[in-house]
Structure formats: structure tokens, C-alpha cells
Amino acid sequence: MWLSVPCPEYSSAKSSAPRDLASADAISKAAIGPLLRLRPAAFAIENPAGLFRHREFVKPLLKFLKPTSYCHFLQENNEPFLYSKPTDIFSNVNCYLPHCRLVPCKHKATHDRHAETAQRGTSSNGALGNALENLHRIPHGLIQKLFKSAFFPELCAIENYLPGDVPARETRQLQKLVPPAFKLKWTSIRRCADKSPDFG
């Protein structure tokens, strides 16, 4: 189950206008309520880093907090997001999510800043702003990473050692270590993945 609760009132970008936290909290509680009742096998709640994590009703979920940033994930065109957008993910899925403040993305490491900003106006350092509809996108790679970690953990365990990612000789050596039963399961999963370019 994926939940993206409205962010404007919690956003750190809202620095001057009055905040209607009462309404924002009411909407968020209405969204989180079904999750607590249904208790899905896997869930993720998304909200840009800001005041949401500090609300009293969110405290029971803090143990699931996994901060991340969008610049470490790909867009629909397989190009990385050009802005950071620090985001809080609350999820019971056990996986690592990268954050640019801890490990800078490739663009930040090379240019010491991001090419774009997660706001509608140009930033003080010259980074270009974005249209609102662009800023509301969720990276496919982020959703896929959580999905694979929850339901196909064996893919994540070997995702750095897929054929073609390492030299052929090493690939053959790795394949000899895989039990026959697992090879059949892996082949079936790969066939499904090959039909969907967004899967991996």
C-alpha cells in the first residue's frame, strides 16, 4: 500500500504564508487510518521532508522512517532526477534508501550542486525551478526498489551480480553457485522482467 499525503502545509518551502496544520492533519489521519486497520504486508507513506514527521500522530511510525532524495533515482526516460527533493519514506519494507546528504549523487559530486531545484522558482545558486506537476512525481526507481525488496528480496540480494554486470568468467563462476531450483525461479522472474522495461 502506497500513501502520498498532501504536503503543502508540512513543506519546509512554505516559509511565509500561514499553515493550516489542523486540516492537513485531518487529511493525513484519514489516509493513514485504513493502513492501520488493513495492516497490509508492505506499506510506504511518502511526504517531502518537513513538519510531517514531527506531528504527534506520526510518532508511532517513526521507527519506519527512511529518509531519501530523488536525485538517486531514475525518471521515466531513464535519466536521473536533476533535483534532490529530500523526502521521508515511512515503510515496513527492510531496504536501504540512498540520501544525497550522506552519499552525494553523481551530479552533486561532480558540480557541487544540483542542476535543478524542487521548487517552482530558480534558486539563489542558479539551479532551475520546476513546474508543479513535475514536482509531484514519484520516482519509478524508488517504488520499484521498495516493491522488489518486499516481494522479490532474492532479486535485491543479487542485483549487483546479474549477467552482463560482471565479466563473463565471473558470471559463469557465480552461476555455478546457484542451486538448480533457484535458477528455474530466477529464469521465470527474468522473463517477467524482460516484458516490463520499468521493472528493473
Highest mean pLDDT among 77-81, 140-144, 195-199: 140-144
Using pLDDT thresholds of 50, 70 and 90, give the confidence band for residue 130: low
Check whether residue 13 and residue 61 sit in a common domain. yes
pLDDT in tens, 109-122: 988 888 777 766 66
Check whether residue 97 and residue 140 sit in a common domain. yes
Residue 9 pLDDT > 50, yes or no?
yes
Residue 186 pLDDT > 50, yes or no?
no
Check whether residue 10 and residue 37 sit in a common domain. yes
Residue 127 pLDDT > 60, yes or no?
yes
Q: Is 4 strand, coil or helix? A: strand
Check whether residue 141 and residue 160 sit in a common domain. no
Query: What total of structural domains would you count in the chain?
Result: 2
Residue 196 pLDDT > 50, yes or no?
no
More confident of the two residues 68 and 188: 68
Q: Where do the DSSP E strands lie in 49-142?
A: 65-69, 86-91
Distances from the Cα of 151 to the Cα of 2, 155, 156, 182, angstroms: 14, 9, 10, 16
Residue 159 pLDDT > 70, yes or no?
no
Alpha helices in 139-179 (DSSP H): 140-151, 153-157, 168-177
Check whether residue 18 and residue 60 sit in a common domain. yes
Q: What residue numbers bound the domain in which 122 lies?
A: 2-151
Check whether residue 92 and residue 132 sit in a common domain. yes
Check whether residue 59 and residue 139 sit in a common domain. yes
Last residue within a domain, chosen from 115, 133, 151: 151
pTM higher than 0.95 for the full model? no
More confident of the two residues 116 and 64: 64
pLDDT in tens, 83-93: 888 999 999 99
Check whether residue 17 and residue 58 sit in a common domain. yes
Check whether residue 138 and residue 194 sit in a common domain. no
Check whether residue 125 and residue 105 sit in a common domain. yes
φ, ψ of residue 56 in degrees (nearest 5): -60, -40
Check whether residue 9 and residue 95 sit in a common domain. yes
What pLDDT, on the 0 to 100 scale, is given for residue 153? Answer: 82
How far apart CA 70 and CA 137 sit, in angstroms, is 10
Check whether residue 157 and residue 176 sit in a common domain. yes
